[in-house]
Amino acid sequence: MSKADLRERIWDHLDTEGIARFPFPPHGRIPNFANASDAADRLADTDAWQAADTLKCNPDAPQLPVRRQALRDGKTIYMAVPRLSEDKPFLRLAPDEIDDIDDATTVSGSAKHGVPVDPEAMPHIDLIVAGSVAVDEDGNRVGKGEGFSDLEFAVLRGFDRVDTDTTVATSVHDSQVVDDEIEPDRHDVPLDLVVTPTGAIETNAVADRPDGLYWDDIAAEKIEEIPVLQRLQPE
Protein backbone atom coordinates (compact mmCIF):
# COMPACT_ATOMS: atom_id res chain seq x y z
CA MET A 1 0.00 0.00 0.00
CA SER A 2 1.34 3.43 -0.90
CA LYS A 3 1.84 6.08 1.75
CA ALA A 4 -0.96 8.14 0.19
CA ASP A 5 -3.38 5.21 0.33
CA LEU A 6 -2.39 4.41 3.92
CA ARG A 7 -3.01 8.02 4.97
CA GLU A 8 -6.49 7.94 3.47
CA ARG A 9 -7.28 4.63 5.15
CA ILE A 10 -6.23 5.90 8.58
CA TRP A 11 -7.98 9.25 8.19
CA ASP A 12 -11.18 7.47 7.11
CA HIS A 13 -10.95 5.02 10.01
CA LEU A 14 -10.45 7.70 12.65
CA ASP A 15 -13.36 9.65 11.19
CA THR A 16 -15.91 6.87 10.73
CA GLU A 17 -15.09 5.13 14.03
CA GLY A 18 -15.49 8.31 16.06
CA ILE A 19 -11.85 8.29 17.20
CA ALA A 20 -10.93 11.64 15.67
CA ARG A 21 -11.16 14.76 17.78
CA PHE A 22 -11.18 18.47 16.92
CA PRO A 23 -10.07 19.87 14.53
CA PHE A 24 -12.25 18.18 11.93
CA PRO A 25 -12.02 16.56 9.52
CA PRO A 26 -8.91 14.53 10.35
CA HIS A 27 -8.03 14.36 6.66
CA GLY A 28 -5.10 16.40 5.41
CA ARG A 29 -3.59 16.93 8.85
CA ILE A 30 -1.85 15.19 11.73
CA PRO A 31 -5.08 13.85 13.19
CA ASN A 32 -6.12 14.50 16.74
CA PHE A 33 -7.46 11.44 18.51
CA ALA A 34 -9.39 10.30 21.56
CA ASN A 35 -7.34 10.02 24.76
CA ALA A 36 -4.33 11.88 23.36
CA SER A 37 -3.60 13.03 26.91
CA ASP A 38 -3.24 9.39 27.98
CA ALA A 39 -0.63 8.90 25.26
CA ALA A 40 1.20 11.96 26.57
CA ASP A 41 1.15 10.41 30.05
CA ARG A 42 2.69 7.23 28.61
CA LEU A 43 5.46 9.29 27.05
CA ALA A 44 6.10 11.10 30.32
CA ASP A 45 6.67 7.73 32.01
CA THR A 46 9.49 6.72 29.66
CA ASP A 47 13.20 6.92 30.40
CA ALA A 48 13.70 9.02 27.27
CA TRP A 49 11.34 11.66 28.63
CA GLN A 50 12.86 11.65 32.08
CA ALA A 51 16.35 12.11 30.63
CA ALA A 52 15.42 14.96 28.28
CA ASP A 53 15.92 18.62 29.08
CA THR A 54 15.19 19.94 25.59
CA LEU A 55 12.51 18.86 23.13
CA LYS A 56 11.60 19.70 19.59
CA CYS A 57 7.88 19.16 19.22
CA ASN A 58 5.46 19.56 16.35
CA PRO A 59 2.63 22.11 16.75
CA ASP A 60 -0.31 19.81 16.00
CA ALA A 61 -3.35 19.23 18.21
CA PRO A 62 -2.66 15.62 19.32
CA GLN A 63 0.70 16.68 20.76
CA LEU A 64 -0.75 19.61 22.74
CA PRO A 65 -0.77 17.52 25.96
CA VAL A 66 2.88 16.62 25.31
CA ARG A 67 3.87 20.25 25.03
CA ARG A 68 2.02 21.20 28.19
CA GLN A 69 3.52 18.31 30.13
CA ALA A 70 7.00 19.26 28.95
CA LEU A 71 6.74 22.81 30.28
CA ARG A 72 5.20 21.62 33.53
CA ASP A 73 8.13 19.24 33.92
CA GLY A 74 10.60 22.07 33.44
CA LYS A 75 11.68 21.13 29.92
CA THR A 76 12.38 23.65 27.16
CA ILE A 77 10.50 23.18 23.89
CA TYR A 78 11.53 24.23 20.41
CA MET A 79 8.84 24.44 17.75
CA ALA A 80 9.38 25.18 14.08
CA VAL A 81 7.65 28.22 12.66
CA PRO A 82 5.17 27.33 9.89
CA ARG A 83 7.02 26.05 6.83
CA LEU A 84 10.36 27.24 8.28
CA SER A 85 9.63 30.53 6.57
CA GLU A 86 11.42 32.94 8.95
CA ASP A 87 15.10 33.85 9.26
CA LYS A 88 14.91 32.48 12.81
CA PRO A 89 12.86 29.37 12.04
CA PHE A 90 12.30 28.00 15.55
CA LEU A 91 10.43 29.26 18.61
CA ARG A 92 11.73 28.65 22.12
CA LEU A 93 9.20 27.96 24.87
CA ALA A 94 11.13 27.89 28.14
CA PRO A 95 9.34 27.23 31.43
CA ASP A 96 10.97 30.19 33.17
CA GLU A 97 9.85 32.50 30.34
CA ILE A 98 6.20 31.38 30.17
CA ASP A 99 3.43 32.67 32.44
CA ASP A 100 0.50 30.91 30.75
CA ILE A 101 1.42 27.35 29.77
CA ASP A 102 -2.01 26.50 28.42
CA ASP A 103 -1.98 29.44 26.01
CA ALA A 104 1.69 29.27 25.07
CA THR A 105 1.44 25.66 23.90
CA THR A 106 -1.32 26.30 21.36
CA VAL A 107 -0.43 27.11 17.77
CA SER A 108 -1.49 30.75 18.06
CA GLY A 109 -0.12 31.10 21.58
CA SER A 110 3.31 29.77 20.65
CA ALA A 111 3.70 32.61 18.15
CA LYS A 112 2.81 35.09 20.89
CA HIS A 113 4.84 33.62 23.77
CA GLY A 114 7.67 31.89 21.93
CA VAL A 115 11.06 33.49 21.39
CA PRO A 116 12.35 33.23 17.79
CA VAL A 117 15.75 31.57 17.70
CA ASP A 118 18.37 30.70 15.14
CA PRO A 119 19.43 27.02 15.00
CA GLU A 120 22.98 28.08 15.89
CA ALA A 121 21.65 29.48 19.17
CA MET A 122 19.84 26.27 20.09
CA PRO A 123 21.26 23.63 22.45
CA HIS A 124 21.50 19.97 21.60
CA ILE A 125 18.01 18.46 21.31
CA ASP A 126 17.49 15.45 23.57
CA LEU A 127 14.05 14.34 22.36
CA ILE A 128 12.04 14.96 19.20
CA VAL A 129 8.29 14.42 19.27
CA ALA A 130 6.79 14.17 15.79
CA GLY A 131 3.20 14.00 14.69
CA SER A 132 2.14 11.00 12.62
CA VAL A 133 -0.73 9.68 10.56
CA ALA A 134 0.48 6.07 10.65
CA VAL A 135 3.44 4.17 12.08
CA ASP A 136 4.67 0.61 12.27
CA GLU A 137 6.59 -1.24 14.97
CA ASP A 138 9.79 -1.03 12.93
CA GLY A 139 9.83 2.72 13.48
CA ASN A 140 8.67 3.74 10.03
CA ARG A 141 6.38 6.76 9.99
CA VAL A 142 3.90 8.36 7.62
CA GLY A 143 3.16 12.05 8.14
CA LYS A 144 0.60 14.18 6.37
CA GLY A 145 2.71 14.27 3.24
CA GLU A 146 4.45 17.65 3.22
CA GLY A 147 7.78 16.42 4.57
CA PHE A 148 8.46 19.23 7.02
CA SER A 149 9.07 17.02 10.07
CA ASP A 150 11.90 15.22 8.28
CA LEU A 151 13.16 18.48 6.80
CA GLU A 152 13.36 20.06 10.27
CA PHE A 153 15.41 17.10 11.48
CA ALA A 154 17.77 17.44 8.53
CA VAL A 155 18.18 21.18 9.13
CA LEU A 156 19.01 20.59 12.79
CA ARG A 157 21.41 17.83 11.77
CA GLY A 158 23.09 20.37 9.53
CA PHE A 159 23.70 22.55 12.60
CA ASP A 160 24.74 19.56 14.77
CA ARG A 161 21.76 20.06 17.06
CA VAL A 162 20.51 16.48 16.66
CA ASP A 163 22.44 13.28 16.16
CA THR A 164 22.22 9.52 16.65
CA ASP A 165 21.68 10.01 20.40
CA THR A 166 18.55 12.15 19.93
CA THR A 167 15.48 10.05 20.67
CA VAL A 168 12.67 10.42 18.12
CA ALA A 169 9.16 9.64 19.38
CA THR A 170 5.56 10.01 18.33
CA SER A 171 2.17 9.80 20.03
CA VAL A 172 -0.71 8.19 18.13
CA HIS A 173 -3.93 6.28 18.67
CA ASP A 174 -3.52 2.51 18.87
CA SER A 175 -5.28 2.11 15.53
CA GLN A 176 -2.62 4.26 13.85
CA VAL A 177 -0.03 1.54 14.55
CA VAL A 178 -0.36 -0.60 11.44
CA ASP A 179 0.77 -4.04 10.34
CA ASP A 180 1.39 -2.80 6.80
CA GLU A 181 4.99 -2.60 5.70
CA ILE A 182 5.82 1.08 5.40
CA GLU A 183 8.67 1.58 2.94
CA PRO A 184 10.80 4.51 4.10
CA ASP A 185 12.32 7.08 1.78
CA ARG A 186 15.93 8.05 2.31
CA HIS A 187 14.99 11.36 3.99
CA ASP A 188 12.54 9.73 6.43
CA VAL A 189 13.55 9.82 10.09
CA PRO A 190 12.87 6.50 11.86
CA LEU A 191 11.16 6.49 15.23
CA ASP A 192 12.71 5.07 18.37
CA LEU A 193 9.55 5.24 20.45
CA VAL A 194 5.81 5.10 19.78
CA VAL A 195 3.35 5.87 22.56
CA THR A 196 -0.40 5.29 22.44
CA PRO A 197 -3.15 5.71 25.02
CA THR A 198 -2.57 2.12 26.12
CA GLY A 199 1.17 1.59 25.94
CA ALA A 200 4.65 2.39 24.72
CA ILE A 201 6.54 0.61 21.94
CA GLU A 202 10.30 0.68 21.63
CA THR A 203 10.63 0.13 17.90
CA ASN A 204 12.86 -2.22 15.99
CA ALA A 205 14.09 0.65 13.83
CA VAL A 206 16.58 -0.54 11.23
CA ALA A 207 16.50 2.36 8.77
CA ASP A 208 19.42 4.77 8.96
CA ARG A 209 18.82 8.34 10.00
CA PRO A 210 19.47 10.98 7.37
CA ASP A 211 22.90 12.48 7.96
CA GLY A 212 21.83 15.83 6.52
CA LEU A 213 19.89 17.35 3.67
CA TYR A 214 19.41 15.51 0.39
CA TRP A 215 19.48 18.47 -1.94
CA ASP A 216 18.34 16.49 -4.97
CA ASP A 217 15.06 15.81 -3.15
CA ILE A 218 14.32 19.49 -2.41
CA ALA A 219 12.59 21.59 -5.04
CA ALA A 220 14.28 24.85 -6.00
CA GLU A 221 11.09 26.71 -5.10
CA LYS A 222 11.23 25.36 -1.56
CA ILE A 223 14.84 26.44 -1.15
CA GLU A 224 13.87 29.93 -2.28
CA GLU A 225 11.09 30.04 0.33
CA ILE A 226 13.15 28.82 3.30
CA PRO A 227 16.02 31.08 4.38
CA VAL A 228 17.75 28.46 6.53
CA LEU A 229 18.05 26.14 3.53
CA GLN A 230 19.78 28.88 1.61
CA ARG A 231 22.31 29.15 4.44
CA LEU A 232 23.02 25.43 4.42
CA GLN A 233 23.07 24.95 0.66
CA PRO A 234 26.51 24.00 -0.66
CA GLU A 235 28.14 26.60 -2.86
User: pLDDT digit string (tens) for 154-191?
Assistant: 999 999 999 988 999 999 999 999 999 899 999 999 99
Question: What was the pLDDT predicted at 164?
Answer: 87
- Checking if the pLDDT of 85 tops 80, the result is yes
Domain count, the chain: 1
CATH number at residue 144: 3.40.50.10420
Which residues, listed in sequence order, are joined to residue 168 by a DSSP beta bridge?
Answer: 128
16: pLDDT confidence band, cut at 50, 70 and 90? very high
Express as a percent the part of the chain with pLDDT over 70.
100
pLDDT of residue 55: 98
Q: What is the pLDDT of residue 155?
A: 97
Q: Taking 90 as the threshold, does the pLDDT of residue 207 lie above it? A: no
Q: Is the pLDDT of residue 231 over 90?
A: yes
Q: Is residue 17 part of a domain?
A: no
The answer to whether position 169 is within a domain reads: yes
Q: Residue 103: pLDDT band by 50, 70, 90 thresholds?
A: very high
227 in a domain, yes or no? Answer: no
**Residue 148 belongs to some domain of the structure:** yes
For residue 12, tell me if it sits in a domain: no
**Residue 29 to residue 158: CA distance in whole angstroms:** 27
**Size of the chain in residues:** 235
Question: What average pLDDT does the segment 115-119 reach?
Answer: 98
**Residue 232 pLDDT greater than 80, yes or no:** yes
pLDDT category of residue 204 using cuts at 50, 70 and 90:
confident
Examine the pLDDT at 214 and tell me if it is beyond 80: yes
Q: Is the pLDDT of residue 206 over 80?
A: no
Domain that holds residue 110: 34-221
pLDDT band at 208 (very low <50, low <70, confident <90, very high): confident
Is residue 28 in some structural domain?
Answer: no
Are β-strands 193-196 and 167-171 bridged in parallel, bridged antiparallel, or unpaired?
A: parallel
In a domain, 103, yes or no: yes
Instruction: Give Cβ neighbours of residue 96 (< 8 Å, ≥ 6 apart).
Output: none
Residue 168 belongs to a domain: yes
Give φ, ψ of 68 to 5 degrees.
Answer: -65, -40
CA distance 10 to 152: 24
